[in-house]
Structure 1
Amino acid sequence: MRDLTHSIGPVQAVKPVVLTATDTSAAVDLAGFNAAGIVVSTGAIAGSGDFTAKLQESDTTTSGDFDDVAAGDLIGSFPASLAADSTVKVGYVGNKRYVRTVVTKNSGTSIAASVVVIRGHADTRPVA
Structure 2
Amino acid sequence: MTSRITRDRTNTEFARSTIPRLKLEFQPRRSLFFRMIAEYRSDLRSPLIDPFTGAPLYVGGALAAEQRFRGLRVDWLASFKPTPGTVAFFGYGSSLERNRALYGTDSLERTSDGFFVKLAYQLRR
Larger radius of gyration: 2
What's the TM-score once normalised by structure 2's chain length?
A: 0.28
RCO higher in 1 or 2 (8 Å CA, sep ≥ 6)? 1
Higher helix proportion (structure 1 or 2): 1
Using the size of structure 1 for normalisation, the TM-score is 0.27
